[in-house]
Homo-oligomer: A and B are copies of this chain.
């Protein structure tokens, strides 16, 4: 807020769109709503971005580059500090998660909406597979490489499924939906990202270490679904 008083209309449109897309999804928002929030006419949105979908893509693209850059830097810093012995699983997870907190601390409102948007995309059948792959997989593969070195005898499939569980836990947590507030009767709060961050790396790292161990066969033992009762028809 020091110098940045003169914000371009393009940025104000992106800000308004980011917030509204995060709250209601791509189809839950109209260009008119966005432009009302941005304080300008609809036609201006089509001047800067030629369609609603292009505006959406611009919202996504605006932050993803910085986010990935900072995460990569966190990982490289970590590896530099551990010249020979690889860093621990927990340290690697922290390098993946901490930058999200750091950015949140920098500009409270903006990143919060962005994370909520990512959570929706990650869990969307329509966009999840495609967009998450396009925007995040190069970085994620880099992190998985580090995890592979920290868990040298790990089966590849266990590694990918473990990351998948991490991804689900992470995006839901940063979506701040308010559910944990209700479930816990108020003793946990969705917007308490420090509380989440104090717990997630330990939780996730334990999962990786439990799953990514050498096996007799490379395939995991199959659970037998024995907990389902025999009266399993309606």
Q: Which A residues fall within an 8 A CB radius of B? A: 22-28, 66, 70, 73-74, 77-78, 91, 94-95, 98-99, 101-102, 106, 116, 119-120, 122-126, 128-130, 132-133, 137, 140-141, 156-158, 160-173, 175-184, 187-188, 190, 194-211, 220-223, 225-229, 231-234
Contacts and interface: CB of A to CB of B under 8 A. Distances in A.
Given A28-B126, A128-B179, A204-B165, A102 B225 contact: yes
A196 B180 CA distance: 25
The SS class assigned to the A binding surface is helix
A170 B197 CA distance: 19
A35 to B, nearest CB: 18
A26 to B, nearest CB: 7
B66 A158 contact: no
Given A206-B206, A234-B66, A170 B168 contact: yes
Identical chains bound together, number? 2
A23 B178 contact: no
Given A161-B196, A199-B211, A206-B209, A99 B129 contact: no
B210 A203 contact: yes
Contact of A28 (B25, B129, B199): B25
B171 A74 contact: no
A186 to B, nearest CB: 10
